[in-house]
Amino acid sequence: MERAASPVAGVDRGRAVQRDPLRREHFVSANPQALRQPIHYEKVVEGVGPVDVDEIVKGFEYEDDRYVLLDPEEVDAIKLETKKTLELVQFVDVGEIPPLYFDKPHYLVPADDLAEDAYRVVRDALKTANKIGLGQLTLRGREYLVAVKPCGDGLLLETLRYADELRKADPMFSDISGKKADKELLEVAAALIERKTAPFDAKAFKDNYATALRELVKRKMKGKSARIEVEEGERPERRGDNVVDLMAALKKSLESNEPKKKPAKAQSSSRRARRKSA
Q: Residue 149: which of 100, 102, 114 has the closest Cα? A: 102
Half-sphere exposure of 251 (CA within 13 A, CB side): 7
What DSSP line would sit under 238-265, residue for residue?
P-SS----HHHHHHHHHHHTSPPPPPPP
Return phi, psi of residue 61, to 5°: -80, 115
- Per-residue confidence (pLDDT) for residue 50, from 0 to 100: 87
- Per-residue confidence (pLDDT) for residue 270, from 0 to 100: 42
Residue 232 is classified by DSSP as G
Global pTM reads 0.61
Output the tens digit of pLDDT for each of the chain's 278 residues: 545 566 665 444 333 344 455 556 666 656 666 656 677 778 888 888 888 888 888 888 888 888 898 887 888 888 877 676 788 899 999 999 999 999 999 999 888 888 899 899 999 999 999 999 999 988 888 889 999 999 999 999 999 999 999 998 888 888 888 899 889 999 999 999 999 999 999 899 998 988 888 888 888 888 755 455 545 554 445 444 555 566 677 667 767 666 555 555 544 444 444 444 44
